[in-house]
Amino acid sequence: MPVEIDIARVARLARIALTDEELEHYGAQLTGILEHASTVQGLPTEGVEPTAHPLGMVNGWRDDEPGATLDRDEVLAAAPDHEDGYFRVPPFLDE
Amino acid sequence: MTDPADLTIADAGARLRAGELTAVDLLDAVRRRASMTEAILHAYLTIDHAGASEAAAEADAALARGEDRGPLHGIPVALKDNMVTRGVETTASSRILAGWVPPYDATVVQRLRAAGAVIYGKTNLDEFAMGSSTENSAYGTSRNPWDPDRVPGGSSGGSAAAVAVGSAFGALGSDTGGSIRQPAALCGVVGMKPTYGLVSRYGLIAFASSLDQIGPLGRTVEDAAMLFEAITGYDPFDATSSPGPVPAVRASLDGGVDGLRIGVLSELASEGVEPSVAAAFHDTLDRLGAAGATIEEVSLPTTKHALSAYYLIAPAECSANLARFDGVRYGPRIDGPNVEQMMAATRRDGFGPEVTRRILLGTYALSAGYYDAFYGQAQRVRTLVVREFAAAYERFDALVTPTSPTTAFPVGARADDPLAMYLSDVCTIPSNLSGDPAISVPVGLDESGLPIGFQVLGPALGDDTVFRVARTVESLVGFAARPALATSEGAV
């Protein structure tokens, strides 16, 4: 089954900055893999529920009580940038 | 006398308790072996010399006090580097986690420590466990101890190579599509994926959460069973952890196969299987039959499509899980004028080609307009696979296939052909979709002297049955070969 991919849009959604050459390379590979994988589309699955968890377990709840957490300074020490106890990032919006 | 590095965990433990060896001796033996082999094999990314020395001395002191923590007490083991270790760098073989030192231990690490095991080091893997050859590591590929020109399999290739060569007595790997069993087969050791939920995934760097499972690698089925018993059990820190009882696998190891009904998965036991692998597989079936098992072919037609479903489900989950690597909380950052460009540049620089490919594949499969046709349909096909297995387990106690259709392939042979690489896992993927336990046990060598694995699958929570069948195969076949690299003086 032929597969159409807007690979530049996919890369943007995935937040990965790829060059034009890389986009072409991955686009071609994805097309090949998806054409192979799309054989699943031909299988009769009407009325079949999807499986999200192999053993069909229910959610596990715990009591809403505060417990031990990771040490903030230790966690921040692993971050590329931090300030006043927070992670620091570049602006969200361009000026 | 035998080099202690060649002992099984069971034997090493017996000598430790008899006072013939100390935990420090065992650690020294592993160190000597690693110093002989690491330059070629590159099984390890990080060796924790200080931590291991301290743990071994502590294990000896505890034993001297009469404090015995069980079968792993004083035994040096290795961990795939996607399990986080407090104070020891953990990278999952990715540049995007270069230099990251976790502030906590994964639950399996806590449990190994509590069982007295000595954690020697962190082993190499395909980046974020995505691959079947360990060639996708950002820190260089590992090599197969039986032939360094070949891959050790993957993604737990470093763990399998270390166990095969004796630079660890046992190891943990993770298995999303066969990443414990396939390298175990290619390196001639035992590798087991427990029933999904029996081992906590807290502190395992996630790849595809509904498929990932941590499990043991050992030189014998009994050694793997000891590791299994140390790491299994409910963990409130993992919402997918199974609250029920864990099968007692060691107690039933020697039950044999007399009267067991064993099904041969016809779709996976024929097409594309190398003649030497097929010959060893059928020879093993004959032995199981002679030992009293009923052997019958069984067809599960949807397993043919399991690979396609997997290569939609796993990348979809990976694209969501790996969104957390964005240059904000850990790892290196590539600066940019705004947060989106910082993230996109960091991720472009930090992820290798296979991880990038799978994130893109998963992002596409989850994107608007394609979600139902690809991801939704794959999850429905998964339901069909689960149902077919469940029906088969009404007729059979266990199912069997070769673990890998081929023996270890040369480094580079499949690196440029993702589809060919993905086919490496055709026999192991179905039981990740179903969540059922599975084990690989070595059953021989091909004409080039490369190991061949035999895979036993069982129903959910039938971990004791797969261990028991594997133990029987081990004793019937008597595979005892070890790679020459490990044992012959001057081979390195």
pLDDT, tens digit (0-9, with 9 covering 90-100), for A28-83:
999 988 988 888 888 999 999 999 887 767 777 778 999 889 999 999 999 999 99
Which residues in chain A are contacts of B340 at CB distance < 8 A? 15, 92
- pLDDT > 70? residue B83: yes
- pLDDT > 70? residue B472: yes
pTM given for the model: 0.96
* Surface-to-core class of residue B35, CB atoms within 10 Å of its CB (0-12 exposed, 13-18 middle, 19+ buried): exposed
Size of interface A-B (CB pairs under 8 A): 176
Give the rounded distance of the alpha carbon of B408 from its chain centre.
16
Distance from CA of A71 to the nearest CA of B (A): 8
Q: Is B488 a catalytic site residue?
A: no
CB-based contact, A36 to chain B, within 8 Å = yes
| A95 — pLDDT class (breaks 50, 70, 90) | low
Nearest CA in chain A to B322: A14
Write down the pLDDT at residue A1. 54
Query: Catalytic one among B133, B137, B142, B155?
Result: B155
Q: From CA B483, how far away is CA B147, in angstroms rounded?
A: 8
Q: What is the bridge-based pairing of β-strands B118-123 and B190-193?
A: unpaired
Distance from CA of B467 to the nearest CA of A (A): 20
> What ranges in B263-374 are assigned the alpha helix state H?
275-290, 303-321, 339-350, 353-366, 371
State the DSSP string of A23-90.
HHHHHHHHHHHHHHHGGGGGS--TTPPPPSSTT-PPPP---S-------HHHHHHTSS-EETTEE---
Mean pLDDT of B139-165: 97
> What ranges in B260-302 are assigned the alpha helix state H?
275-290
CB-based contact, A95 to chain B, within 8 Å = no
- A89: which residues sit within 8 A by CB, 6+ positions away? A81, B328, B339, B342
pLDDT digits (tens, 9 = 90+) for B425-439: 899 999 999 999 999
* Surface-to-core class of residue A13, CB atoms within 10 Å of its CB (0-12 exposed, 13-18 middle, 19+ buried): middle
Write down the pLDDT at residue A30. 93
Distances (CA, A) of A55 to A2, A59, B194, B198, B401: 34, 12, 13, 11, 23
- pLDDT > 80? residue B352: yes
Q: From CA B189, how far away is CA B427, in angstroms rounded?
A: 17
Which residues in chain B are contacts of A36 at CB distance < 8 A? 308, 311, 419
Which residues in chain A are contacts of B429 at CB distance < 8 A? none
Query: Catalytic one among B179, B241, B404, B440?
Result: B179
pLDDT digits (tens, 9 = 90+) for B97-145: 999 999 999 999 999 999 999 999 999 999 999 999 999 999 999 999 9
Distance from CA of B328 to the nearest CA of A (A): 6
Nearest CA in chain B to A48: B380
Nearest CA in chain B to A60: B239
| B420 — pLDDT class (breaks 50, 70, 90) | confident
Q: B238: which 2 tokens?
A: 């993992």
Write down the pLDDT at residue B492. 42
CB-based contact, A72 to chain B, within 8 Å = no
> What ranges in B397-462 are assigned the alpha helix state H?
418-422, 429-434
- What is residue B50's DSSP assignment? H
- B176: which residues sit within 8 A by CB, 6+ positions away? B129, B155, B207, B208, B211, B212, B213, B314, B432
- Write the residue in A10, A40, A91 that is nearest to B309 by C-beta: A40
Q: From CA B165, how far away is CA B120, in angstroms rounded?
A: 14
- pLDDT > 80? residue B202: yes
CB-based contact, A80 to chain B, within 8 Å = yes
- B290: which residues sit within 8 A by CB, 6+ positions away? none
Distance from CA of A85 to the nearest CA of B (A): 12
- A39: which residues sit within 8 A by CB, 6+ positions away? B305, B308
- pLDDT > 70? residue B284: yes
With an 8 Å Cβ cutoff, are B383 and A91 in contact? no
Q: Is B80 a catalytic site residue?
A: yes
- pLDDT > 80? residue B1: no
- Write the residue in A43, A48, A94 that is nearest to B337 by C-beta: A94
Q: From CA B71, how far away is CA B75, in angstroms rounded?
A: 8
Write down the pLDDT at residue B2. 84
Cβ-based neighbour number of residue B102 at 10 Å: 23
Which residues in chain A are contacts of B213 at CB distance < 8 A? none
ipTM for the whole complex: 0.94
Mean pLDDT of B480-487: 77
The mean of the pLDDT values for chain B is 95
| B490 — pLDDT class (breaks 50, 70, 90) | very low
Q: From CA B441, how far away is CA B280, in angstroms rounded?
A: 12
Which residues in chain B are contacts of A75 at CB distance < 8 A? 103, 329
Q: Is B266 a catalytic site residue?
A: no
Write down the pLDDT at residue B491. 46
Mean pLDDT of B86-93: 98
